[in-house]
Amino acid sequence: MAKYLKLASFALFAAIFTMLSSCTKEASRSTGWEYNNPKNGGFEVVPYKEPITGPGLVFIEGGTFTMGRMSDDPMYEWNNIPRRVTIPSFYMDETEVANIDYVEYLYWLNRVFGTNYPEVYRKALPDTLVWREKLAYNEPLIETYLRHPAYRNYPVVGISWTQASDYCLWRTDRVNEMMLIKSGILDFDPAQKNENNFNTEAYLAGQYDGLVNKPLPDLNPNGTGERRVRIEDGIMLPKYRLPTEAEWEFAAYGLIGNTHFERVVERRIYPWNGTILRTDDKKYYGSFVANFKRGRGDYMGVAGNLNDGAEIPSEVGSYWPNDYGLYNMAGNVSEWVLDVYRPLSFEDVSDFAPYRGNVFQTRITDAEGYLVPKDSLGRIKYRQVSEEEAMGRFNYRKANNINYLDGDYQSLIGVDWAQKGEDENNTQKMYEYGVTSLISDKARVYKGGSWKDAAFYLSPASRRYLDEDKSTNFIGFRCAMSRVGGSAPGKGR
């Protein structure tokens, strides 16, 4: 009997200890001081579990894969030599950015900047004249494709790389503003004008307030009792941006559905296995899974028996998604990616998170080290990192690394280092733009086949380039976002 009483007493003690422990505030593992206690200084640590997936995005679990050519190159460019790399997990738009998405962006720009800075709106307008052909009648598309409701969910085209990048930054701010509104911290402010508009960086830097609804409590005993959101709160999302070339190619293959215990069962040529669609429903065997040009003069098949059923871009979300749930990673429209184009990038770039195009920047500060006021459009001002600031570093020595190993003086043979010239970042000596090459620091990669392309370009490995200020009727884009924390949900936190 005494034995059972002892066991019962021990169980009661354990239950009381557990209850008391659960009521104890979390404390620092290194100092023992309690978090979130204004009595000991108020250092705040907010509860955090998982990153929020931003609107329109799909989680792309990263990993290693062989990036590069999958078949013979009929153009003999040999600019995508196979290379094994690792891609960190990230997020990517489920579909291409549609006309309705971009028109929403144009409406906002006109509402906020139209009166005093109309050039901002005009700069963002797509080039609808890309539909013109010298010996074809496409004039109706010039007037209707972007704004007519019939094309509302079609991918936006006529967008340059620069315009696509600007859209990504705008989207970041609108999403984060809504995050703060849904959290009850800010209220809707439709009267935003000119520099008085929500910008994520300006808000975090204290240069934008907005219509405050319910600020967060400030536990700092020296504070005012209330504060704005900080990056440590985990409420706001990282930047929307264009995907890197490696990210786009990795996501397009969708190898997550094609592996068995880290073994790739079949290295795909297209975003699906084999050369035809394989589904559980036999009636779909052999169906077209992409919008492309099947042959000369054949954009959609024969009347009464259309193949892909789309003579120009089809609606985003058409056909079957790949194993990540991404639509139109082959066909429909080609897509801008973040990288600057170089023929030898696959040989040179890092085997972890490969990318070419880094120009390192830092925020502009005054003589006392404080941020200078934001610009007339409400954005934080940046400048390139100086050589003095990079001096002594091992990982980089200058701001502009676009031409590193392919276009800079170190990559040239027979250069007289005493006569380098005035601009070490100029690619003129290796790529004489307009004379022997169309490659420059403004040449940007675009990936994937389009409605105007033959099947060869449907392979995610294919790569082409265009000046970042140019646009066509077959190039669109989709956004991506870096993942913070572990590589898989619930892991590595």
pLDDT profile of the chain (493 residues), mean per 10: 44 39 73 93 90 94 90 77 94 98 98 96 98 96 97 98 98 98 96 96 96 94 93 95 98 87 80 62 68 89 82 92 93 97 91 96 95 96 94 92 85 59 60 79 95 92 95 98 87 46
d(Cα 380, Cα 378) in Å, to the nearest integer? Answer: 7
d(Cα 112, Cα 122) in Å, to the nearest integer? Answer: 13
Residues 6+ apart with CB under 8 A from 37: 25, 219
Residues 6+ apart with CB under 8 A from 299: 293, 310, 311, 312, 451, 452
Pick the closest to residue 169 from 205, 127, 209, 202 (CA basis). Answer: 202
Task: Report whether 309 contacts 303 (CB < 8 A).
Answer: no
pLDDT at 424: 55
Task: Report whether 61 contacts 256 (CB < 8 A).
Answer: yes
Task: Report whether 132 contacts 100 (CB < 8 A).
Answer: no
- Collapsing DSSP states into helix, strand and coil, what is residue 306? strand
Task: Report whether 483 contacts 58 (CB < 8 A).
Answer: no
Query: Judging by beta carbons within 10 Å of its beta carbon (0-12, 13-18, 19+), is residue 307 exposed, middle or buried?
Result: middle
pLDDT at 418: 45
d(Cα 452, Cα 136) in Å, to the nearest integer? Answer: 14
pLDDT at 337: 98
Alpha helices (H) along 24-98: none
d(Cα 255, Cα 86) in Å, to the nearest integer? Answer: 13
CA 124 to chain centre: 19
Pick the closest to residue 271 from 285, 251, 288 (CA basis). Answer: 251
Side-by-side strand order, sheet with 463-467: 463-467, 443-447, 334-340, 475-476
d(Cα 419, Cα 304) in Å, to the nearest integer? Answer: 68
What number of other Cβ atoms are within 10 A of residue 462's Cβ? 24
Identify residue 192 by its one-letter amino acid code: Q
Pick the closest to residue 161 from 401, 348, 310, 357 (CA basis). Answer: 357
> In the chain, helix, strand, coil percent, each to 5?
25, 15, 60
How far is CA 283 from each of CA 140, 278, 279, 305, 319, rounded to the nearest angstrom? 37, 10, 9, 15, 15
d(Cα 333, Cα 443) in Å, to the nearest integer? Answer: 19
Identify residue 326 by its one-letter amino acid code: L
- Collapsing DSSP states into helix, strand and coil, what is residue 65? strand
Task: Report whether 355 contacts 245 (CB < 8 A).
Answer: yes
Sign of CA dihedral 19, 22, 25, 26: positive
Task: Report whether 238 contacts 90 (CB < 8 A).
Answer: no
- Collapsing DSSP states into helix, strand and coil, what is residue 51? coil
Q: Which residue has the tokens 């795909």?
A: 268
Query: Judging by beta carbons within 10 Å of its beta carbon (0-12, 13-18, 19+), is residue 154 exposed, middle or buried?
Result: buried
**CATH of the domain spanning 50-183+235-357+441-482:** 3.90.1580.10
d(Cα 402, Cα 55) in Å, to the nearest integer? Answer: 31
pLDDT at 490: 66
Q: 327-337 b/e with 16+ CB inside 10 Å = b?
A: bbbbbbbbbbb
Q: Quick one: which H or E segment has residue 249?
A: helix 245-253
Domain positions in the chain are 50-183+235-357+441-482
Pick the closest to residue 467 from 336, 376, 367 (CA basis). Answer: 336
Strands 259-260 and 463-467: unpaired
